[in-house]
């Protein structure tokens, strides 16, 4: 059997109603400013969930769009995979809440923890379920409500992250030997570096306690400069591996859609891959870093802008806490 086994049949995204600008964060008393944030990250605003906006509701909104565009009914979804680092509850998974919200009565559902690589990892798992014959139609979501786990007094992190959800429907390719679909994938991890970007408390190893609240260790902690270096290195490796596996070169790529963490990381990734910035999709300015949601939100945005069309060959690359990283080449 040869690829492609699966193709992306529909996409959607959802963000909370409220946009928070850099000036809004400075006005909250965080020692930062619009100029620094734009220069160092490229971010101008991000969306932050309010009353009634949960990971489940954002995910379900994004999924409904993706399913409508794919022409898929809830009862046709075999599996729901939700990449996230900020689930609504630690038990059970948010994926099962989404399954109920959508009425996907036949679907198995589970969360996948790979931080910012969550949608790519989930897509690779979904493709594998289709390739093995276990599923025909898989709903893959990347979603985050990072505002709930960010320390809003820590300028190293709170300026970066945003809330949102991106969804894609993966379907079995209709005929053998086609060229539309997932052409190659790559994924890796290195847990030795976990403590460079993590939540020290709140899990089984160090449960929530009055002490963890006092020292704020239940929030995201990040060694920004170190993470930056690894992100650049891993994203570069990822683009190389996915292109090699698809037997393509940068010249064959119509659009690079990288994880939207920081415009400087995106520029370094594009430079390494030999792809000019006019073939790179950037929307970190409007959404901030939405972790697992960033790549599927960018994909849906790129389709809406006409930058991904029938026949486009797209290179995806992501990097996140873990560390985890990965990539894929997909023809639409």
Cα–Cα distance for residue pair 66/76, rounded to 1 Å: 13
Cα–Cα distance for residue pair 321/160, rounded to 1 Å: 14
Q: In this chain, which of 156, 212, 312, 313 binds ligand UT7, going by CB under 6 A?
A: 156
Query: What tokens appear for 181 in the block?
Result: 């679909």
Q: How far is the CB of 205 from ligand UT7 (least distance, A)?
A: 22
Q: Is residue 283 at the binding interface for ligand UT7, with CB under 6 A as the rule? A: no
Asked if 325 and 187 count as a contact pair (C-beta separation under 8 A), the reply is yes
Q: Is 259 a catalytic residue?
A: yes
- 29: β partners: none
Q: Is residue 233 at the binding interface for ligand UT7, with CB under 6 A as the rule? A: no
Closest CA to 62 of 139, 162, 146: 139
Which entry of 13, 218, 221, 259 is annotated as an active-site residue? 259
- How far lies 12's CA from each of 247, 248, 301, in Å? 29, 28, 9
Q: Is residue 81 at the binding interface for ligand UT7, with CB under 6 A as the rule? A: no
Name the residue nearer to ligand UT7 (CB basis): 125 or 231: 231
Q: In this chain, which of 320, 326, 327, 330 binds ligand UT7, going by CB under 6 A?
A: 320
Give the β-pairing of 108-112 and 163-172: unpaired
Name the residue nearer to ligand UT7 (CB basis): 65 or 291: 291
Residue nearest to ligand UT7 (CB): 224
Cα–Cα distance for residue pair 128/123, rounded to 1 Å: 9
Q: Is residue 289 at the binding interface for ligand UT7, with CB under 6 A as the rule? A: yes
First-to-last alpha carbon distance for the chain, in angstroms, is: 20
What is the Cα Rg of the chain in Å? 19
Contacts of 294 (CB under 8 A, 6+ apart): 116, 119, 142, 166, 259, 260, 261, 284, 287, 318
Name the residue nearer to ligand UT7 (CB basis): 323 or 332: 323
Q: Is residue 113 at the binding interface for ligand UT7, with CB under 6 A as the rule? A: no
Stretch of 34-42, 64-72, 182-190, 243-251 contacting ligand UT7, by CB under 6 A = 34-42
Q: Is residue 262 at the binding interface for ligand UT7, with CB under 6 A as the rule? A: yes
Q: How far is the CB of 42 from ligand UT7 (least distance, A)?
A: 9
Q: Is 158 a catalytic residue?
A: no
Q: Where are the beta strands (DSSP E) in the chain?
A: 6-14, 18-21, 45-48, 79-83, 108-112, 137-145, 163-172, 181-189, 197-198, 221-222, 255-258, 313-320, 324-331
Name the residue nearer to ligand UT7 (CB basis): 4 or 322: 322
Name the residue nearer to ligand UT7 (CB basis): 227 or 297: 227
Q: Is residue 227 at the binding interface for ligand UT7, with CB under 6 A as the rule? A: yes
Q: How far is the CB of 292 from ligand UT7 (least distance, A)?
A: 10
Q: How far is the CB of 101 from ligand UT7 (least distance, A)?
A: 27
Cα–Cα distance for residue pair 81/265, rounded to 1 Å: 27
Q: Is residue 116 at the binding interface for ligand UT7, with CB under 6 A as the rule? A: yes
Closest CA to 183 of 72, 310, 315: 315
Q: Is 221 a catalytic residue?
A: no
Q: Is residue 159 at the binding interface for ligand UT7, with CB under 6 A as the rule? A: yes
Cα–Cα distance for residue pair 328/53, rounded to 1 Å: 31
Q: Is residue 231 at the binding interface for ligand UT7, with CB under 6 A as the rule? A: yes
Q: In this chain, which of 52, 91, 225, 278 binds ligand UT7, going by CB under 6 A?
A: 225
Give me the residues that bind ligand UT7 (CB under 6 A), please. 32, 36, 40-41, 116, 155-156, 159, 197, 224-225, 227-228, 231, 261-262, 265, 289, 291, 319-320
Question: Which residues are the active-site residues?
Answer: 116, 259, 289
């Amino acid at each position: 059997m040869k690829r492609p086994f699966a193709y992306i049949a529909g996409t959607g995204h959802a963000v909370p109603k409220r946009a928070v600008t850099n000036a809004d964060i400075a006005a909250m008393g965080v020692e930062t400013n619009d100029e620094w944030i734009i220069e160092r990250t490229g971010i101008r605003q991000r969306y932050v969930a309010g009353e009634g906006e949960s990971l489940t509701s954002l995910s379900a909104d994004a999924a409904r769009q993706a399913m409508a565009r794919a022409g898929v009914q809830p009862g046709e979804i075999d599996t729901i995979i939700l990449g996230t680092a900020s689930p609504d509850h630690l038990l059970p998974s948010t994926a099962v809440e989404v399954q109920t919200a959508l009425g996907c009565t036949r679907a198995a559902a589970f969360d996948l923890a790979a931080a910012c690589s969550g949608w790519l990892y989930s897509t690779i798992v979904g493709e594998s379920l289709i390739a093995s014959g276990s599923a025909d139609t898989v709903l893959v979501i990347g979603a985050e409500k990072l505002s709930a786990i960010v320390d809003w007094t820590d300028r190293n992190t709170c300026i970066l992250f945003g809330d949102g959800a991106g969804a894609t429907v993966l379907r079995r390719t209709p005929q053998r030997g086609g060229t539309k679909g997932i052409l190659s994938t790559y994924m890796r991890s290195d847990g030795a570096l976990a403590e460079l970007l993590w939540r020290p408390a709140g899990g089984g190893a160090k449960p929530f306690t009055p002490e963890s609240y006092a020292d704020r260790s239940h929030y995201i902690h990040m060694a920004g400069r170190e993470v930056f270096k690894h992100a650049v290195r891993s994203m570069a490796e990822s683009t190389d591996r996915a292109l090699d596996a698809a037997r393509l070169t940068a010249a064959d790529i119509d659009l690079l859609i990288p994880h939207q963490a920081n415009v400087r990381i995106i520029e370094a990734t594009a430079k390494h891959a030999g792809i000019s910035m006019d073939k790179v999709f950037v929307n970190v300015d409007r959404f901030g870093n939405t972790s697992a949601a960033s790549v599927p939100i960018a994909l849906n945005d790129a389709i809406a802008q006409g930058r991904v069309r029938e026949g486009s060959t797209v290179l995806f690359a992501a990097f996140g806490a873990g560390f985890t990283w990965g990539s894929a080449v997909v023809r639409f």
